Chain A
Amino acid sequence: MLKKLNVLMAGVLCAASMSIAHADPALLRVGATPTAVPFNFLDPQTNTLRGAMIDIADAVGKEAGYKTEITPIPFASLVPSLQTNKIDLISSAFAKTPQRAQVVDFTQIVVEYGEGLIVPADDKTDYKTLADLKGKTVGVQIGTLYVDPLKATPGVKEVKMYDTMADLVRDVSLHRLDAAIGDGPVIAYQVHSQGASGVRYVDSYKPSLPTNIALAVRKGDDARRAQLDAAITKLKANGTIDAILKKWNVGH
């Protein structure tokens, strides 16, 4: 019953937004941190932003009757930019957490993925969990959800913080780190697609810390959130979201 109601509501909202779409589409200003391949990154060939979250923002925005305009914004400036009305939406590798839900409003979850582990190429151990990293110096990316669990893991020798995934990979290959934890799709993309030398993606590792990515609107911007939620529901149902995630090899 509730589900039916939801679908009905979605239908009504879509119809409403479709009628808006026939007029000049309103502008939806989207912020993304383009330092996470394959979620969002700058394509040096075309000097445009590309990636899974860019495609999702475009598709969801279009479905809800908007014309999207995407701006690159450093991670730490995402929330202030939203709060001071410089952008209307965050569509980035910006996970839904209780702390963040206090300052922004999230739509439903769009992408889910777990963490990945890399070690130097000459380390052949089949690590399975965080606990196996006993006695190791482990690197992690600032702002990810893995920092606290890693610090709480007993026996880890040292947790070092890094700005970007590229720095993590370099320091693992130079043996400054014994291992590094990061977003599974980002690590996998870098190691497999870019052929990072001297590091190994640990296939035996079982992720235990799910990251849930949702779109974020300004606190209290309920109308827009409902609109976008309805669009996401529709795009999930017709397979558009899955096709985007598959194209970029992320999630599930």
Chain B
Amino acid sequence: MFESFTSDAIEFAPVLMQGVLTTIAITAAALVIATLLGMVWALLRVSGIAPLSHASRLLTNVLRGVPIIVILFYMYFVMPAFGVSLTAFQAGALGLGIAYSSYMAEVFRAGIDAVDPGQYEAAQSIGMSRMKLMRRVVLPQALRIALPPYGNNVVMMLKDSSQTSVITVVELSMQSKLIAAATFKSATIFTLVALIYLLMSLPMMYGIGRLERRFGKGK
């Protein structure tokens, strides 16, 4: 059993590695999009301007309430009807990024809210503008607080990148399903895939853990 597992693993690994590269690329692209958009939503939310913060809250709630798979389908199969035709990879990265921007926004907002009100008052008392106050005083502290849940989202995003397979992105999980269908060795292949996802996510968790220890709150 174990011998055939190793020989199969050696046979399938090169093909799976191509899926791994796509998985990493799509997760990285989506992470950039999710982080930037999430920051925008969070800043709108705490802007103190009622229409903007309401709009931001509505948007993040809608995005959080819709399954990622539906957002992906929309990006790839519905947007062409409006004249926006993306490749599978672009639609996957954008869809995943937009879906996760809502979770990232919540993480950033919670971080901003957790900064002690005294800090705002102190900054205002020395005449800082609202922009400057956010940039110099609140955000640096908020990001530290947000780091652990942010890292959590990144790991979830890596795993959710498998959902882009429905819109024909040939990433790790799609590649593994195809090999399983061709060889009927499901047990071997899915064990291999679990190990590969772990090999990607464990270093990521470790890295985020180090960042937390370095910049984390109260250190």
Contacts and interface: CB of A to CB of B under 8 A. Distances in A.
A83 B168 CA distance: 14
B186 A72 contact: no
B80 A85 contact: yes
Interface stretch (A20-28, A120-128, A159-167): A159-167
A77 B182 contact: no
A167 B186 contact: yes
B165 interface: yes
Interface stretch (A35-43, A131-139, A177-185, A218-226): A35-43
A194 interface: yes
A144 interface: no
B196 interface: no
Contacts of A72: 168, 170, 174, 178
Interface in B90-140: none
Contact of A43 (B167, B168, B182): B182
B181 interface: yes
Interface in A51-85: 71-74, 76-77, 80-81, 83-85
A165 B168 contact: no
Interface string B20-51: 00000000000000000000000000000000
A34 interface: yes
Interface residues of A, number: 31
A37 B170 CA distance: 19
B206 interface: no
B184 A85 contact: no
B182 A45 contact: no
Contacts of B179: 42, 44
Contacts of A83: 77
A180 B149 CA distance: 46
Interface in B172-194: 174-175, 177-184, 186
A24 B168 CA distance: 28
A35 to B, nearest CB: 4
A234 interface: no
B180 A166 contact: yes
Contacts of A74: 165-166, 168, 174
B77 A35 contact: no
Most chain A CB atoms below 10 A, which of B76, B85, B184, B186: B184
Nearest to B12: A44
A246 interface: no
B15 interface: yes
A83 B85 CA distance: 12
A81 B168 contact: yes
A99 interface: no
Interface of A: 34-37, 41-45, 47, 71-74, 76-77, 80-81, 83-86, 164-167, 169-170, 190, 194, 196
23 contacts: A35-B177, A42-B15, A43-B182, A44-B182, A45-B11, A47-B18, A71-B168, A74-B168, A74-B174, A76-B166, A77-B166, A77-B168, A81-B77, A81-B168, A83-B77, A84-B76, A84-B80, A85-B80, A164-B180, A165-B184, A166-B184, A169-B184, A194-B184
